[in-house]
Amino acid sequence: MKVAVISASFFPSVDGVSVALYHRAKVLSERGHQVLIACPDYQAIEAVYPNWREYQGEIFSGVQVVSLPSSPFLDGILDVGAEQNMNRQAARPLQQALADFAPDLIHVDEPDRIFLGLVKRPGLSYARAQGIPCLAFYHTNFIDYIEDYIEPGWRLRSQLISLLQSLSKLYMKFVFNAYDATLVGAPVTQQRLQQIGIQNMVCDRYLGVDLDAFTPALTEPDFFQSHYTCEVGPDDIVLTFLGRLTPDKGWRFTLRAFMDWVAQPENADLRDLVVLMIAGQGELQDAIEQGLTELGLRVCMLGQVPHDVVPALLTNSDIHVTASEKETLGLTILEAFAAGTPVIAPKAGGVVTLIREGDTGLLFRPGDVESFGEVLSRLVRNGAKRRRMGQNGKRSVEDYGQGAVVDNLLDTWQKYISD
């Protein structure tokens, strides 16, 4: 099969879309398929991603990466960190790359984001002209992000959020309903998009994790001291946060929640036990470090962690914590389970597809600092529960291995090629 993938991001930018595409491409290569990946050009931000050239050209046998003219994503509108997005100058080279490759099918990751720069629905015109399928993949709940980037206290804030979200829903229908199908990885995401008015959805296990990368051999007694010069004692409990340090990942809530947790007298014996490992970068980095340190908590800011380090990072952690309520599935949840690490997360978004409450992790009520503190204390206090949940989590992701999820994707692609 020859598949052209048009993606809103790719390595060295580390996000769920890039990670999923990289591992998908590796499996497709191993199975003898040919893949063209068209993605943004990261040369303009080489200071952020000095290794961007490593992910150009043929990265695996039969897998070719082509970068296209790009500009900063939503520059001057939102601060979303070091991200690029294809711009209008990418239209012609994209058409030429597709013509040269002559795919059997086009798969587009995040067409809603790409449209904002390209000003057209990516891949569709070529697919219609050639009579081949063109499928979209819904990855990110951008509509929900709007409320995170309009500061509290703005005049008419709620009315503005409502207006922008209503307009965004119309935009989403315009983009996604034009494709032959919109693929989603979780039933809760499918239900949400149905409410918006997207009608062409196919839901399956399309997103997974490289299970082979997570092994007991990654366990090191002095891992954080050796690799990050972070002091962690034998009795300390490591809480790891993994992802962008931006408002959409729930960091403002996290700071409030820890402030409340620290203030509770019954947690006095726990405060000195926990060490917070925060891996990621973003606009809130300084505020997060200062806010948590002022609470008397031990905090290690690890910066942007290369994805091949994530298995060791999570394997040597005791709990993975996320406060994001807007995940379409939750790649870091899958990775934590593969590492045998239990998870604390809000009961919201796609993570509820993955977490079995009390069995593989604990869920707190969204926006409720008391609920967060309660589940955190329960898991910090109970080592046996953590170990049991970690083992259960590891078993729960056996069906999310890269081979299995790529099989699901290949079956769907073949169905549309054959129709």
Task: Render pLDDT for 12-40 as a digit per residue (tens, 0 to 9).
Answer: 998 999 999 999 999 999 999 999 999 99
What lies within 8 Å, CB to CB, of 90 at 6+ separation is: 68, 69, 70, 117, 118
| pLDDT of res. 151 | 73
Name the 3-class secondary structure at 275: strand
pLDDT in tens, 203-250: 999 999 999 999 999 999 999 999 999 999 999 999 999 999 999 999
Is the pLDDT at 78 greater than 70? The verdict is no
Is the pLDDT at 77 greater than 90? The verdict is no
pLDDT in tens, 181-191: 999 999 999 99
Question: CA-based angle 263:244:401, to the nearest 5?
Answer: 110
Q: Name the residue with higher pLDDT: 142 or 315.
A: 315
Confidence of residue 150 (pLDDT cuts 50, 70, 90): confident
Question: CA-based angle 19:21:27, to the nearest 5?
Answer: 105
Confidence of residue 368 (pLDDT cuts 50, 70, 90): very high
| Whether the Cβ atoms of residue 339 and residue 212 lie closer than 8 Å to each other | no
| pLDDT of res. 76 | 46
pLDDT in tens, 332-358: 999 999 999 999 999 999 999 999 999
pLDDT in tens, 293-330: 999 999 999 999 999 999 999 999 999 999 999 999 99
Q: Average pLDDT over the chain, rounded to whole?
A: 94
| pLDDT of res. 235 | 94
| pLDDT of res. 259 | 97
Q: What is the pTM of this model?
A: 0.93
Domain annotation for the chain: domains and CATH numbers: 2-208+401-418 (3.40.50.2000), 211-399 (3.40.50.2000)
Residue 93 Cα distances to 54, 229, 247, 297, angstroms? 21, 46, 34, 51
Q: Which residue has the tokens 């998009």?
A: 193
| pLDDT of res. 35 | 98
| pLDDT of res. 75 | 53
- Residue 209 CB neighbour total at 10 angstroms: 26
Confidence of residue 80 (pLDDT cuts 50, 70, 90): very low
pLDDT in tens, 32-65: 999 999 999 999 999 888 999 999 999 999 999 9
- For the record, the structure tokens of 258 come out as 């820890």
CA distance 169 to 256: 30
Strand partners, 319: 239
Locate the DSSP E strands across 93-223: 105-109, 134-137, 181-184, 201-203
